[in-house]
Structures are given as structure tokens and as C-alpha cells.
């Protein structure tokens, strides 16, 4: 039996995210689900290495408009067409935008 350890809610979504890896790699992924701690991404092919540090760029609704947020993360799981990210420390504005997105009715 597989036990999930969640520190916050996880919301299914279909937003896009851009992942920067290394200095030359940038690719758009579809977010399957998102939480305050990480994200599960989908693509035709998962080509990020396990343990890789990446930067996730996501657009979320801010106070009056959509803003771009940079979330440092690590690749914690890789499947054939899915990658799981665990976010590292990110700023308070990104935290507020994620909370507003995740807990919006």
C-alpha cells in the first residue's frame, strides 16, 4: 500500500508551466495537479533527470491581473510522461498567489 504524505491540499488543474533546467533547457509542461509544496507535470515524454534542480515558471492570478511566479524546485519522481516536483523556498508573493489559487471556490 502506498501512503501519500501531504502538507497542503492538492488541486487538479490544467494550467501550463515552463520548466527551466540547466542554462539551456526550457520546456512547457501541463500541470496535472498543484499544491503549496509541489506539482505533478505531464508531457509527451518526461525528459528531466531525477534529483535535478529546476525553476518552475507559472502564471497565477494576482490582485488584479495575472503575474508570473518563479518557483525553485527539485525533480522527485520521473515516470514515462510525468514528473513530480517538490518546491524549495519561494517568496511570499508566490505563496499568497498559490494559496489564493488552491483555496479559491
pLDDT mean values, one per 10 residues, the chain (105 residues): 56 85 82 94 86 93 79 94 95 92 80
Q: What is the pLDDT of residue 20?
A: 92
Cβ distance 84 to 40 under 8 Å?
Answer: yes
For residue 48, give its domain range: 11-103
Rounded to whole angstroms, how far apart are CA atoms 100 and 97?
A: 5
Report the CATH number at residue 39: 2.40.10.220
Query: What's the domain count of the chain?
Result: 1
Local structure of 64: helix, strand or coil: coil
**Domain assignment of residue 17, yes or no:** yes
**Domain assignment of residue 78, yes or no:** yes
Query: Among 79, 25, 78, which Cα is nearest to 56's?
Result: 25
**Domain assignment of residue 6, yes or no:** no
Distant-in-sequence contacts of 7-13, Cβ < 8 A, 24+ apart? 7/35, 7/36, 7/37, 8/35, 8/36, 8/37, 8/102, 9/35, 9/102, 9/103, 10/34, 10/35, 11/35, 11/101, 11/102
Q: What is the pLDDT of residue 44?
A: 81
Q: What is the pLDDT of residue 62?
A: 60
Q: What is the pLDDT of residue 2?
A: 45
71, 72, 77, 82 alpha-carbon torsion, rounded to 10°: 40
Q: What is the pLDDT of residue 3?
A: 44
Amino acid at each position: 500500500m502506498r501512503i501519500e504524505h501531504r502538507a497542503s491540499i492538492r488541486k487538479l488543474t490544467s494550467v501550463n508551466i515552463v520548466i527551466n533546467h540547466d542554462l539551456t533547457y526550457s520546456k512547457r509542461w501541463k500541470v496535472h495537479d498543484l499544491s503549496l509544496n509541489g506539482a505533478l507535470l505531464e508531457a509527451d515524454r518526461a525528459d528531466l533527470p531525477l534529483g535535478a534542480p529546476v525553476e518552475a515558471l507559472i502564471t497565477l492570478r494576482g490582485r488584479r491581473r495575472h503575474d508570473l511566479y518563479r518557483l525553485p524546485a527539485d525533480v522527485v519522481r520521473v515516470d514515462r510522461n510525468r514528473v513530480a516536483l517538490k518546491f524549495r523556498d519561494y517568496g511570499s508573493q508566490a505563496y499568497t498567489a498559490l494559496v489564493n489559487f488552491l483555496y479559491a471556490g
